[in-house]
Amino acid sequence: MPASPLSLRIADEIKELIRSGRIPVGEHLSTQRLADQFGVSRSPVREAMMVLADQRVLEQHLNRGFFARAVAERRTKKPRSDVAELAGGPPEYEALADDWLTDRIPSEVTEQFLRKRYDLTKAELTDVLLRAVREGWAERKPGYGWRFLPVAKTAEAFEHIYRFRMQIEPSAMLEPTFRIDRQVLAEQRRIQESMLASDIATLPAERLLHNGSLFHEEIIKLSGNMFFHRALVQVNRMRRLLEYRSKVDRRRLHVQCTEHLQILSLLESGKVADASDLMRRHLSGALARKSPVVLKRGEEMRGGTRK
């Protein structure tokens, strides 16, 4: 039986934790700790571990559990652009995403159409479509075929995502169940300071986007309300295609990291209301900075002047 979309998503997250060094090579993976971290039961975590064992990302020891192995970096014939890195998948996935973004395929398709277009086996196409489902821009039609969703395709969708975030993220920080976890804050401070020191210039674009999303997801998780957290995780997946279109502006990330550190400082000082206010202004500023870039990039791609 193939792994569920949830298990595949968790497998991707675990693999990224190993690649980034947050789970050291050789470390024993605790099913319960990972289940708590991802806000799920242990069953999908165990399933994800079995997937990673098959991929030789994890090593399973009888009666001892799973241990992290080194994750090989992708090898390409030439350096990948930020756009390709942000697609973050195999060439077939990137081709499908690119075709959908530039209106080269219809919104409703059959598997036969996709297999023929991309020269894929049934199993390969299933993997590609399940990734698109995890990223929030594809769904299986009732009965037959697939539908691609415009949730992550337009500048209007981009603005709606940020306006939604401007509502839920500052509000979550004001929930009566919000609790400051200094270990979480310390880890996020380490990541943001490392990015400012050198990582912005050296890390792959996909990893930079992941770090930004992780900061916001870890902060909203402190609200103690799983619905806030799950909603943000979902919209962050949806906006990957919009970020894929707009390309990473590494200079802008200096502003983003600086503001993240300011929010952390306020939380560390117990000034939660001030941190909430700064979070709202941070997201509003991000929307103002990013919207023109997304719109311009969309016009270039649709007009056949992609750079």
The domain spans of the chain are 5-68, 82-150, 155-302
CA–CA distance, 150 with 133 (Å, rounded to integer): 13
Domain 155-302 has CATH 1.20.120.530: yes
pLDDT band for 262, please (50, 70, 90 cuts): very high
Lookup: tokens for 239: 């906006």
Round to the nearest angstrom and report the end-to-end CA distance of the chain.
42
* Nearby residues of 231 by Cβ (< 8 Å), 6 or more positions away: 164, 168
Residues 6+ apart with CB under 8 A from 114: 96, 120, 125, 128, 129, 146
Q: How far apart are CA 94 and CA 252, in angstroms?
A: 25
Q: What fold is seen in the domain 5-68? A: Arc Repressor Mutant, subunit A (1.10.10)
Whether domain 82-150 has CATH 1.10.10.10:
yes
Tell me which residue has tokens 């500048």: 155
pLDDT band for position 27 (cuts 50, 70, 90): very high
17 CB-near residues (< 8 Å, 6+ apart) = 23
Structure tokens at 114: 């996709």
What is the predicted pLDDT for the residue at 293? 47
Residue 165 identity (one-letter amino acid): R
Give the model's confidence band at 247: pLDDT under 50 very low, under 70 low, under 90 confident, else very high. low
State both tokens at 143: 């009965």
Residue 212: name the closest of 165, 178, 173 by CA.
Answer: 165
* Separation of alpha carbons 158 and 253, rounded Å: 18
The SS3 assignment for 269 reads: coil
Average pLDDT, the chain: 82
* Structure-token match 């802008």, residue found: 252
Q: Which of 292, 213, 293, 198 shows the shortest CA–CA distance to 256? A: 213
Between 259 and 12, where is the model more confident? 259
Interior/surface letters 195-207, b for 16+ CB within 10 angstroms, e for the rest: beeebbeebbbbb
* Domain pair 5-68 / 155-302, same fold: no
pLDDT, one tens digit per residue, over 111-145 is: 999 999 999 998 889 888 988 887 778 899 987 89
Decide which of 85 and 257 is more confident.
257
User: What is the share, in percent, of the chain residues with pLDDT greater than 90?
Assistant: 37
* Percent residues over pLDDT 70 in the chain: 83
**Strand ranges of the sheet holding 65-68, from the earlier edge strand across to the other edge:** 28-29, 65-68, 58-61
**Size (the chain), residues:** 307
* Res 298 pLDDT > 80: no
Q: Cβ of 215: how many Cβ atoms within 10 Å? A: 21
244 has a pLDDT exceeding 70? no
66-79 pLDDT, tens per residue? Answer: 999 876 544 443 44
For residue 252, what are the CA distances in angstroms to 92, 155, 205, 275?
Answer: 30, 19, 13, 21
- Whether the predicted pLDDT of 246 surpasses 80: no
**pLDDT reported for residue 245:** 57
